[in-house]
Amino acid sequence: MTMDIRRGAFHFTSQTTALEIIVTSYLLGKDLMAFEMRVLIVVVAMVVCLPSAAYAEQGTATFYTPPYVPSSCYGYQNDGVMIAAASDAIWGNRAACGKRYRVTCTGATNQGVPQPCKGTSVVVKIVDYCPPGCRGTIDLSQEAFAVIANPDAGKIKISYTQV
């Protein structure tokens, strides 16, 4: 005879003892519980990761070239080359200074370079202000821009998230 116990099918013969049935169902229960726990962990991990993707802002990026100092945030302090200047969209009267953003190229803004994206992301630190008239939401250093896109594009569509 076949008997369904907790989503598992077992084949029991007429000679199967009650103890064998109990042990089999107990072991199945432990396996299912472990499996369900693993599924729960994976689902929780996915949910935790979703907000960063779901809440990514959309904008545009341009780039600027050295010298990168002085900067509006840190004067003559050298903060390397993975840096950016914030437009009014994120500047917040210097509140953006020191914040780090993960920036990803999402597409072209012009016909000159129809597919500028390199399929990567870059994390930059806001060290400067891109004044009114700034052509992008974030003005990346030339080096940071080159990590995510072809510099010949000049301006690209991006998604960005504070990290």
Average pLDDT, integer, range 137-162: 98
Q: Which option is the CATH number for 57-162: 3.30.160.40, 3.30.70.100, 2.40.40.10, 3.10.180.10?
A: 2.40.40.10
pLDDT score recorded for residue 41: 72
- Per-residue pLDDT band for 149 (boundaries 50, 70, 90) equals very high
pLDDT score recorded for residue 7: 47
Residue 63 has pLDDT above 80, yes or no: yes
For the chain, the structural domain boundaries read: 2-53, 57-162
pLDDT score recorded for residue 52: 47
pLDDT score recorded for residue 46: 55
Residue 64 has pLDDT above 50, yes or no: yes
CA distance 125 to 81: 9
Beta strands in 29-86 (DSSP E): 57-64, 83-86
- Note the pLDDT tens digit of each residue in 76-135: 999 999 999 999 999 999 999 999 999 999 999 988 999 999 999 999 999 999 988 888
Q: Strand, helix or coil at 111?
A: coil
